[in-house]
Each structure stands twice: as structure tokens, then as C-alpha cells.
Amino acid sequence: MFEKSTANRVFIFVSAVIGAGFATGRELNVYFFSHGIRCGTAGMLISALLFALTAYKTLRIGADFDIKSYKDMLRLIFGKRAAGLFLLASTAFFAVLTAAMAAAFGGLCGGFGINERAASLVFCLVCGICAKRGAGRASFVLCPVMLAGCLYIGLAFYGQTEPCGGDIGFLPDALIYTAYNVLTGTAVLFCCPKCGKRQAVGTAAGIFVLIFVCGWVFGRCTAGTNAPLPIYALVRDKAVPMVLYTLVLTCALFTTALDNVLCLKPYIGVTAACVIGAVLSMIGLDAIVSVLYRVFGVVGCGVVAGVLTYPAGPP
């Protein structure tokens, strides 16, 4: 069981839903800053607000209706049959996200001359071993390190990329990005003890601030970049930032993957989750982020709508 503090809820949510997506810079580029600095900033603001509101409502639903798991929450909101479909889609997404982390780690290792596929397989193996030993609390330590490193690199390279043109397409992309990440975010919050209204508000506020500030500072570095790992492409020729970034990205990938494997644990087991993740990682990061994530984003929109519109329970 995770510690009860508000900070720990914030860290596990942030590391699960946006950790590695921010650290690679790929999702920030695809869903936000490929639309330009201003539109990307607006998209980040909307996304951070939706994350905070959904986290708040999830925590309140769990406390008000004595919900103990993600599966039970889906059944409460959508009914048994529809909940089964949402749970199936969510389980598939957790596996796909684990695969994305493995593929990104393989890409990082490829920059050092290590075989990418072998590195991805080793990554999944290590995640499986850690998850079976209950290493979910790694988020509490590694998430602050990851965020601090992201802010440092974002500020160090601030304004060094060429802004690209803005377009209204940022709005659906921001919604899709938020929606598929909410699948993980709502599930991982049930790994934490229940909390009162004041703690739920504090958790939502912390999520909003960290996601918006870190996303905006770090995301600006990705504007106009088309590399699979945009931040890696930016820092690879600079010794100190490169070493720091390698550590930050490794922390982010492992914490995000571990949180997702722990979400999968009650449904298909750790071993199956890691095997599926290893197989899917062979597809490559670009295909996973640009195609598969959008598919799950449509499913996530249903979860977001259901959580936000579900009536409040007893005080």
C-alpha cells in the first residue's frame, strides 16, 4: 500500500500518466507543440485542467461510494457490460504503454551502440522482476528527480528551437492526449488509500501545477522537431546535459512502466503484462505514439466523460 500523503498521490499520478511522455518529448511534440508555441501552451493548459478535475472526481467517487478498484468504479459509472469493454480496452492500453516505454528505452540505448530490441526485452524483464517484488513506491523517489531534471533541461535549452506555425488542431490532440492517459491515471489512483475532500483538492492542484509547468517548459524544446526522441536529439552533443538526460529518461521510463504493470497485475498478471509489452515494443515508439495512442484516446474520452459527469455521492 502506498503512503497516504497528498504529495505521494500527485507523484504516482504524474509518473504514471505523463512521466515518460514528457521525458522523451515525443508526446509533447506530437500532441501539443507541433501546433506552435501558443497553441501548444493552450493545449497544455486544457490538458492539465482536465487531468486535475478527473483525478479529483476519481478520488471523491472512491471515497463517497467505497470503491476499492478501477474495475469497481467502471461498473458503478457504466454498468457491468459496458464496464467490461472499458476494462478490456484499458488493460490493452496498459500493455501498449509498457511497450512504448520499452521501445523508448531501446531507442535510448541505440544511441550508445546497444541493440535496441535486446535493450527493450531487458527493460521488460527488469520491470517484471521489480513489479513482482512490489517496487511501486519507486515513483515516490524517482518522480521528483525526473521532474527536476526535465525542468533543468527545459530551462537550459529554452528558446533554442524554431517555433512552428499554430493551428486549431491542437484542441482535439490535447483532448486525445488527456483521454488516453486518464485510463492509467484513474486506475493508478486506486493503488492509494482513500482520502478526504481537502486531500483530493490538494492532489488535483498539485497535478495541475506539475503537468502544466513542466509540460510547458520542457515541451517548448520540442517545437519544430521531428526526431523520435526530440529531447535526446537536442542534448546528445552536450556532455553534461546528455548524462543528466539519460538518467532522467531512464527514471521516467521505469516509473511509468512499473505503474502500468502494477495496474495490470490484478487482471492478467505481471509476467503476461511484461511479455505482451516486450512483443509490442518491436513495433517501435513512433507507431505506438502516433497511431495506437490515438485509438485508445477515443476510449479514454468515454472514461473522462463518465467520471466528470457522474453525480456526487453522500457528503
- Tell whether 314 is covered by a domain: no
Flag whether 232 is in a domain.
yes
Specify the 3-state DSSP secondary structure of 217.
helix
Whether residue 1 is contained in a domain is answered as: no
| Secondary structure class of 274 (helix, strand, coil) | helix
Which residues are CB-neighbours of 168 under 8 A, at least 6 positions away?
39
CATH (domain of 72): 1.20.1740.10
Cell of 43: 493545449
Per-residue pLDDT of the chain (315 residues; tens, 9 = 90+): 445 678 888 888 888 877 777 777 778 888 888 888 888 889 999 999 999 999 999 999 999 998 988 899 999 999 998 999 888 888 888 878 788 788 888 877 887 788 888 888 888 888 877 777 655 566 667 777 777 777 777 777 766 555 555 556 788 889 998 998 888 888 888 877 788 889 999 999 999 999 998 888 877 777 666 776 777 777 776 766 777 778 878 888 888 888 777 777 777 777 777 777 777 777 766 666 667 778 888 889 999 999 999 987 655
Q: Residue 291: what pLDDT?
A: 73
Tell me, yes or no, whether 64 lies in a domain: yes
Q: Look at residue 109 and tell me if it is in a domain.
A: yes
Q: Count structural domains, the chain.
A: 1
Considering only CA atoms, which of 266, 238, 288 is closest in space to residue 120? Answer: 288
Range of the domain at 221: 6-308
* Residue 72 resides in a domain: yes
In a domain, 220, yes or no: yes
In a domain, 37, yes or no: yes
- pTM, entire model: 0.86
What pLDDT does residue 168 have? 61
